[in-house]
Structure 1
Amino acid sequence: MAIVAVKDISGIAEPLPGFSVTRSNGIEGEKTLSVIGLKTGVNQHGYKLVKNENIILYKDEEYIIKTHKEKTYNEGLGVEVTALHRIFDDLINHRIYEEKSGTLRIEAMLDFALKGSGYTYEVDKTDLPTSVKVENFGWDNSLALFRSILEKFGAEFDYVGKRIFIAKKIGAKKDEPFLRHRYNVSDPQKEIDTSNFATYIRGYGKQNEDGSYVVQAEYTSPLATIYGIKHAEPVKDERFTDKESLLAEMKSKLGDNIDISLTFTAVELANMGFKDVNKGDYLWCVIDPFDINVQLRVLTIEDYSNDKKPPVFTFGSVTKKASDLIADFNTTKKTVDKVIDSSTGTIKASALNTAGLALKTDLDAHVKNTDIHVTAAQKASWDSKESGGTVAALEARLTNIAWASPTFKNNWTQYTDASGSYPVQYGKDMVGTVVLRGVAKGGIIGTNTPVYTLPAGYRPMYPHHFTGPAGVGFIYTGVIKTNGDVCIESSTNTTANAFIAINTQFKTN
């Protein structure tokens, strides 16, 4: 079980043993907790602190309690709360009392919007505009200004602690393996939506003083040859001064796609061959009956404090407000109108190729053929063997880690005392969680003097900040960089490097 604790506004912290946590991590930046627990003799002190505006501590991050519901159960008194990552609370309560105008780069706008907030940032400028023109930007809270920057530059964000990461798109595009209808996706038609479908769009870039445009363009989707011209809202954006960039923006806004939503657990994805799936990643989905291939995006990841319960991944489009959640719609043989009946919202029978399919009489005969079917007892026996015999054995396989010993650097060595050695090791489970453990000593403290360096495949997507014990009553702060360097930044121990217990975990990139 992952450890959960609560802290009040004065800084008093108490653990919450017996409490369960569900964390939702969404593509639009929201990260929330749902926390449930019963009051017991063990957690009674922490239970009293579970109140609005107090802080839930979970997996090295802080969440502010926003809703609180207490009620009685058969087992006694219990509480349910939801908590929002503190970045939103911090930024909405931090205000900028000045403004800027002109053509600004994204770094200048971020420095301005986050000034004095305590938050820092990193920007991947790939595919982002060099600068944008703004008028009277400011006189608002930092969260509103930050959201405005993302909208103006067409960017997304993620964050760890007080470090914000900004890019055109977070996540990666994976070519293989893929989700496939009738192979590992059973019912994609449950969530198909063409209400925003369009095939034609115009675009207008920077405007001259005489009212003409520096650049303008139009684009017609290949689907228009059969479906007809369906006008989309035109793009009018002062950022664009060349046709190529304007066309790319127009195509991203044009709704010539199908919205599909699919949900899988981490165990299901692992069984399909996916071992490293992160928020924002794109995975190919092949739907043979419709002759279409789409790249579905990981929109949300829901994980749990109960480490025996696998995380749940939702792919595709759940809400209509994020038009870019389905990317690169591609069809060559059939069109959307041949798939969906717009009057009923259901799939047309004509969309399915019935050539060569069995008749009902064939199906009846097949079902009654006892020679070719597996009995329930046989299936249970085979499933048991495949899974290692028990559910516990399957869970053991999912959490099994092959440990490796790193090469120490910068005078760091293995710590040993009278009770024995605590070997410094690292490893990774089958769902991509990297785990570090062990105690080191004697090396050089600093952000550029790593204890050791993790190899490729064991490195975090973003810098991973963590803390740990530096001896009895002392703590240290550390960081694992994206290049694999495991560094100890500072220690409260008078002998800073005498005892450094490196115990942390994260998802690989």
Structure 2
Amino acid sequence: MAILAVKDVSGIAEPLPGFYVTRSNGVEGEKTVSVTGYKTAANQYGYNLVKNENILIYKDEEYVIKTHKEKTFKNGVGVEVTALHRIFDDLINYRIYEEKSGTLRIDAMLDFALKGTGYTYEVDKTDLPTSVEVQNFGWDNSLALLRSILEKFGAEFDYVGKHIYIAKKIGSKKDEPFLRYKYNVSEPEKEIDTSSFATYIRGFGKQNEDGTYVVQAEYTSPLAKIYGIKHAEPVKDERFTDKDSLLAEMKSKLNDSLDISLTFTAIELASMGFSDVRKGDYLWCVIEPFGLNVQLRVLTIEDYSNDKKPPVFTFGSITKKASDLIADFDTTKKAVDKVIDTNTGTIKTGAINTSGLATKSELDAHVKNTEIHVTAEEKALWNSKDSGGAAADLEKRLTNITWSQATLKNNWTQYSDASGTYVTQFGKDMVGTVVLRGIVASGTVGTSTPIYTLPVTYRPTYPHYFCGSAGPGYIFTGVIKTNGDVCVEKSTNPTPNAFIALNTQFKI
């Protein structure tokens, strides 16, 4: 399970074991997390920091909590929050108090809009205009100015941390793999929206003092021969003084397109070779009942901290001019015909890459592996417990752990105070989650002086980094090495070994 932590405005951070995360990553640039969990002894310090405007840290990205709902569960109090990637909070709260006018390149506009924010950028200029004409660009927050730049240049953006990536289109077009009805797609729905459809538009540029216009233009779509003249809202813009520029603007505003939306359930994506599909990618899709061979785009990817729950892809179609859409059918069909036998409706043998596929004997050995599969008796015992949502699920997992007491070394001892002694233990639940708990003190801080060493079957595949409480108001950073050593790297407590709360978990 991916680790979630929370940090307050003063920089104090605490882990949130037992919390569940749903992350949504959309092609329009939005990236949010929804988090649920309830208060336990393992997360009590972090739970108290889950408040509006504090920071959630998840998969090396920071999200600002914007909504917070606390409620009661059967086993105590819990919380549900949503958080927005901090780029939006940072940029909307930074303002530019000047303006620019003239013909500007995208780099100059980005330098101006992001000046002082601490954010960097890179631009793939393929298919982007060299420059655009702007008037009074500025006097707004940096997020609004960034959105304005993307609109003017017809671009999209993505980001990692404080680095922004801009291109005509985020993602790539893939010839393979593909989606097909009844093969790895079920329950398709098709919707065509023509509510804003038009075939004719007029444009007016800069106006003379006598009320006439320096330039005027009109444009009629070829689709007017099929659907008739349907007037669009005219373009009136003082920036234009030549007909070619005005016509280009008019054509971009005219919606002489058919908006086709396809929704469906995609199944067995991983086995079809979809492991490298990313937000913004385009995939071929064949829906025979609708007579469609079209290219779909990944609009949103939703993933989860629960490793057992696969990510969900939301696909949408490209909005194209109707004439282009019709022309593309032939191109798409040729691409699909390379991998599908049209006589049998099955994939051609030569199109399948069998490298890395499991043999039947390997699959049988995997199915019979009792260490990673739940038996019928275990399942019945699990299901017999009272169900109460996420809280009850966590309780079931915890109560099925067999705990072992750690053998402390390097002068580390059990911590005790008036509230009692919290024995240092480790355990593993039914689905392979290793859990550490307990409080220690007095040992030697450092990655070469472990507190204790986990047995071979409890060790992480990769180093597991975590943080925790080093006493009221203090935190420490720790690491569990692949050799099982549980170490404290650094502590903010002036007496760094006075109090170390070992509360973390990881999947093996």
TM-score using structure 1 length: 0.60
Partner of 1:473: 489
Equivalent of 1:331 in 326, 335, 353 = 326
In structure 2, C-alpha distance between the alignment counterparts of 1:393 and 1:244, rounded to whole Å: 68
Change (3 A) 1:118 1:333: closer
Structure 1 SS opposite 2:306: coil
In structure 2, C-alpha distance between the alignment counterparts of 1:100 and 1:333, rounded to whole Å: 42
Partner of 1:254: 255
> Which segment drifts farther, 133-142 or 156-165?
133-142
Partner of 2:315: 315
List aligned pairs for 1:112-191, cutoff 5 A. 112-189=112-189, 191=190
More relative contact order, 1 or 2 (CA 8 Å, 6+ apart): 2
Give the CA deviation at 1:187. Answer: 3.2
Give the CA deviation at 1:136. Answer: 1.3
List aligned pairs for 1:57-456, cutoff 5 A. 57-189=57-189, 191-196=190-195, 198=197, 200-202=199-201, 211-213=213-215, 218=219, 220-221=221-222, 224-233=224-233, 250=251, 254-264=255-265, 268-316=268-316, 325-327=318-320, 330-331=325-326, 389=367
Partner of 1:30: 30
Give the CA deviation at 1:474. Answer: 6.7
Q: Which residue identity is paired with 1:196?
A: S
Give the CA deviation at 1:7. Answer: 0.2
In structure 2, C-alpha distance between the alignment counterparts of 1:156 and 1:107, rounded to whole Å: 15
Give the CA deviation at 1:392. Answer: 9.6
Structure 2 SS opposite 1:268: coil
Asked if the contact 2:203/2:250 (under 8 Å) is kept, the reply is no
Structure 2 SS opposite 1:128: coil
Q: Which residue identity is paired with 1:326?
A: T
Change (3 A) 1:328 1:5: farther
Change (3 A) 1:80 1:255: farther
**Identity level (%):** 62
Partner of 1:339: none
Give the CA deviation at 1:386. Answer: 9.0
Structure 2 SS opposite 1:116: coil
Asked if the contact 1:201/1:250 (under 8 Å) is kept, the reply is no
Q: Which residue identity is paired with 2:367?
A: G
Change (3 A) 1:240 1:213: closer
Give the CA deviation at 1:201. Answer: 4.5
Partner of 2:497: none
Asked if the contact 2:5/2:16 (under 8 Å) is kept, the reply is yes
Asked if the contact 1:240/1:246 (under 8 Å) is kept, the reply is no
In structure 2, C-alpha distance between the alignment counterparts of 1:145 and 1:9, rounded to whole Å: 27
Give the CA deviation at 1:315. Answer: 0.5
Task: Report which of the two structures shows the higher radius of gyration computed on alpha carbons.
Answer: 2
Structure 2 SS opposite 1:108: helix
Partner of 1:39: 39
Give the CA deviation at 1:385. Answer: 6.8
Partner of 1:54: 54
Asked if the contact 1:18/1:43 (under 8 Å) is kept, the reply is yes
Q: Which residue identity is paired with 1:331?
A: I
Q: Which residue identity is paired with 1:57?
A: I
Change (3 A) 1:292 1:392: farther
Change (3 A) 1:11 1:392: farther
- Please provide the CA RMSD for this pair: 4.2
In structure 2, C-alpha distance between the alignment counterparts of 1:389 and 1:25, rounded to whole Å: 34
Give the CA deviation at 1:198. Answer: 2.8
Q: Deviations over 1:96-155 (max 9, x none)?
A: 111111111111111111100000100111111111111111111111111111111111
Give the CA deviation at 1:294. Answer: 2.4
Q: Which residue identity is paired with 1:200?
A: T
In structure 2, C-alpha distance between the alignment counterparts of 1:127 and 1:69, rounded to whole Å: 45
Change (3 A) 1:104 1:390: farther
Partner of 2:349: none
Structure 2 SS opposite 1:129: coil
In structure 2, C-alpha distance between the alignment counterparts of 1:28 and 1:5, rounded to whole Å: 26
Residue segments in structure 2 that go unaligned for 5+ positions in a row? 330-359, 374-446, 451-460, 465-476, 482-486, 492-508
In structure 1, C-alpha distance between the alignment counterparts of 2:79 and 2:218, rounded to whole Å: 57
Asked if the contact 2:122/2:164 (under 8 Å) is kept, the reply is yes
Asked if the contact 1:171/1:278 (under 8 Å) is kept, the reply is yes
List aligned pairs for 1:2-13, cutoff 5 A. 2-13=2-13
In structure 1, C-alpha distance between the alignment counterparts of 2:121 and 2:250, rounded to whole Å: 25
Partner of 1:370: none
Q: Which residue identity is paired with 1:220?
A: S
In structure 2, C-alpha distance between the alignment counterparts of 1:184 and 1:248, rounded to whole Å: 41
Q: Deviations over 1:427-477 (max 9, x none)?
A: xxxxxxxxx9589xxxxxxxxxxxxxxxxxxxxxxxxxxx998996379xx
Change (3 A) 1:472 1:73: closer
Give the CA deviation at 1:264. Answer: 4.6
TM-score using structure 2 length: 0.60
Asked if the contact 2:194/2:259 (under 8 Å) is kept, the reply is no
Structure 1 SS opposite 2:145: helix
Asked if the contact 1:387/1:393 (under 8 Å) is kept, the reply is no
Give the CA deviation at 1:69. Answer: 0.6
In structure 2, C-alpha distance between the alignment counterparts of 1:104 and 1:306, rounded to whole Å: 47
Q: Deviations over 1:302-358 (max 9, x none)?
A: 0001112111000116xxxxxxx5346523799xxxxxxxxxxxxxxxxxxxxxxxx
Asked if the contact 1:203/1:247 (under 8 Å) is kept, the reply is no
